Every structure is written in structure tokens, then in C-alpha cells.
């Protein structure tokens, strides 16, 4: 059974999301089903990447449901916040009522993106010691909640 939706409509007049791949959930790794996109300007210029992880589980609070990267030459145009808005539409189609986005406490650009996109800062959460992010040296994340 395919749990993924068509994504060709994910555009807003300025950017569009180009689906790279989908990934099924992997219970052994505690991973959720996910969409992986490139972010393009309408003229086709690739400006970054974004992902949507569908649902919540034991690790999604610190990992988040959405991640994004905008390439340095294209930063400052709110492409990440616009991409989040498109991903929120997709999350709603999956029946999600809320989602989380997390970022490093010192990543002010990502925190600003979360605020522009309508997120509410819940807390600066500690990364559990048994989590792979902890093994990579991360100790805390800002956790933003987005009501859909």
C-alpha cells in the first residue's frame, strides 16, 4: 500500500518542490516515512533541499518533522519558510494536526525561519544520550511546534 501522495502541486508562484525520493518507515531505526525534495525557484534554479517526516514517534521531538537547507547565494529570500508552508500542506493531507521543527540553539537563521513560518518555541530540549545526534556531539535543540 502506497502511503505517499502526489506532490507535483507543491508550488507557490515563487518556488516549487521537486520530489527526489520517498522513504518508507524503518521501525528498527525508529524512522518515519519521509519525502525528500529539492527546492527550486519557478525558473528551475535549485536553491536548496527540504524533507518532511510524516507522523510522530519517540525521536521526532528532537529530530523534527521538517528539515531544510538553502544554499548560501540564495539565503535571505525566505525560501526555507516558503518551503515549510508547502510541506505543511502535505502534512495536513496526511492528517497531521501539528509538527515539530528543531534547530541548533545557536542557529539564529533557522530560528528566524521557524518564527516566520509560524512556529512557537516550546523549549530548548536536551538530546538523549542514546540518540545518534548526541553521538555526533549535539547536546540541545530548539523545539518549535507548528499547529496545522
Residue 67: all three cell numbers together: 528539515
pLDDT tens digits, residue range 35-91? 999 999 999 999 999 999 999 997 899 999 999 999 999 999 999 999 999 999 999
pLDDT tens digits, residue range 77-103? 999 999 999 999 999 999 999 999 999
With contact defined as beta carbons under 8 Å apart, do 83 and 39 qualify? yes
Query: In the chain, what are the domains?
Result: 15-147 (3.40.630.30)
Is the pTM above the cut of 0.85?
yes
Using CA atoms, how far residue 62 sits from 22, 32, 34, 58, 126, in Å, is 21, 13, 16, 9, 8
Amino acid at each position: 500500500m502506497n502511503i505517499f501522495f502526489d506532490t507535483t502541486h507543491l508550488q507557490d508562484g515563487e518556488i516549487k518542490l521537486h520530489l527526489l525520493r520517498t522513504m518508507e518507515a524503518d521501525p528498527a531505526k525508529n524512522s518515519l516515512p519521509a519525502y525528500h525534495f529539492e527546492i527550486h525557484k519557478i525558473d528551475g534554479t535549485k536553491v536548496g533541499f527540504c524533507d518532511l517526516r510524516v507522523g510522530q514517534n519517540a525521536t521526532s521531538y528532537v529530530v523534527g518533522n521538517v528539515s531544510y537547507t538553502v544554499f548560501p547565494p540564495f539565503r535571505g529570500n525566505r525560501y526555507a519558510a516558503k518551503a515549510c508552508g508547502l510541506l505543511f500542506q502535505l502534512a495536513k493531507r496526511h492528517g497531521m494536526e501539528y509538527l515539530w521543527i528543531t534547530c541548533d540553539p545557536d542557529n539564529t537563521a533557522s530560528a528566524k525561519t521557524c518564527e516566520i513560518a509560524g512556529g512557537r518555541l516550546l523549549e530548548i530540549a536536551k538530546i538523549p544520550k542514546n540518540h545518534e545526534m548526541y553521538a555526533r556531539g549535539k547536546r540541545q535543540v530548539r523545539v518549535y511546534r507548528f499547529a496545522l
